[in-house]
Amino acid sequence: MANIKQANKLTEANQSSEKLLTLIEALSMQQDSVKLQEIAALVSMNASTTLRFLAALEKKGFAVQDDTGRYSLTYKFCEIADNIKIHTDIRNICLPYMKNISQNLGETVNLSIEENMAVVYLEVVQCAWRALSITQRIGKVAPLHCTGVGKLFMLGHTREQLENLYEEKGFAKYTENTIVTLEQMLEQLDRIRECGYAIDNEECEMGIRCIAVPIRDYTGKMVAGLSVSGPTSRMTSESIREKIPYLFEVVGEISKRLGKKG
């Protein structure tokens, strides 16, 4: 009997927690302060339960009631968000996943971000038994147009921004496969947008192919890219197709850690 009571209490606590989180999420989406009855209707709860949650939020400084009796959230939630950003390093989140990928696929795995319309490598994990002599190094900066991750970042820019990049810097030719015209790049970006991943097909370094997939945050924005590099002898078209579902699954898990829904 004691175990049943304990289980019931745990279930009730979980349900209460879910209701509170639903209430917070609903309030965060309102442009203006909201009356009690309106909030209750939004979250499909009775007024007394809603008031109890609001009182708890008020007591802890997460909500405030104005002179008209309407409720809104406070910037204390922003403080929490800032703390999370400060203490959550995307490199630390990704590193265990990168090690697993390298172990499972037997290839080099790279984590990159975009700065000033260029790719910056944050972390590189090489396979212990298949070390690859390539140019990726932590802190190295690479162009957008000839890297898989760079092409993914290009999707976040307008055509005008890409035209400006092309006019100012051009697309330098690193190998015979490097895309050097804007029109060719725009055509490839359309294909990348449809499939969700990008490939560096010996465009940065001959003999090396790279697959890149995006990491997204709670807004859905791409904040980093994960890529797998290897020699063309192993990174064949068939091999790449086989790796893509696994890589999508991994970056999906990482993106959830960053708050992305779905």
**For position 260, what pLDDT does the model report?**
85
Query: Of the CATH numbers 3.30.450.40, 3.40.50.300, 3.40.50.720, 3.65.10.10, which one belongs to the domain with range 88-257?
Result: 3.30.450.40
Query: What confidence category does residue 15 fall into, taking pLDDT thresholds of 50, 70 and 90?
Result: confident
Q: What is the mean pLDDT of residues 104-128?
A: 91
Please tell me the distance from the alpha carbon of residue 182 to that of residue 166, in angstroms, as a whole number: 7
Please tell me the distance from the alpha carbon of residue 249 to that of residue 97, in angstroms, as a whole number: 11
**For position 251, what pLDDT does the model report?**
97
Q: What is the mean pLDDT of residues 186-200?
A: 97
- Better pLDDT: 23 or 7: 23
DSSP 122-175: EEEE--TTS----S--TT-EE-STTSHHHHHHHTTS-HHHHHHHHHHH-----S
**For position 21, what pLDDT does the model report?**
93
**For position 127, what pLDDT does the model report?**
79
**For position 7, what pLDDT does the model report?**
45
Structure tokens at 199: 């490939």
For the chain, the domains span: 2-83, 88-257
Q: What is the mean pLDDT of residues 185-209?
A: 95
- Which residues neighbour 66 within 8 Å (Cβ) at sequence distance 6 or greater? 33, 72
Q: What are phi and psi of 39, to 5 degrees?
A: -65, -45
Query: What confidence category does residue 179 fall into, taking pLDDT thresholds of 50, 70 and 90?
Result: very high
pLDDT at 85 over 80: no
Query: What confidence category does residue 261 fall into, taking pLDDT thresholds of 50, 70 and 90?
Result: confident
- Which residues neighbour 222 within 8 Å (Cβ) at sequence distance 6 or greater? 152, 153, 155, 156, 214, 215, 216
CA distances from 238 to 98, 131, 136, 201, 235 (A): 22, 22, 24, 14, 8
Structure tokens at 149: 């991750």
Q: What is the mean pLDDT of residues 36-63?
A: 94
Structure tokens at 212: 């890149």
CATH 1.10.10.10 fits 2-83, yes or no: yes
Looking up tokens 């999370």 gives 84
pLDDT in tens, 124-161: 998 776 655 555 565 688 999 999 999 999 999 999 99
Mean pLDDT, the chain, integer:
89
CB 180 within 8 A of CB 154: no
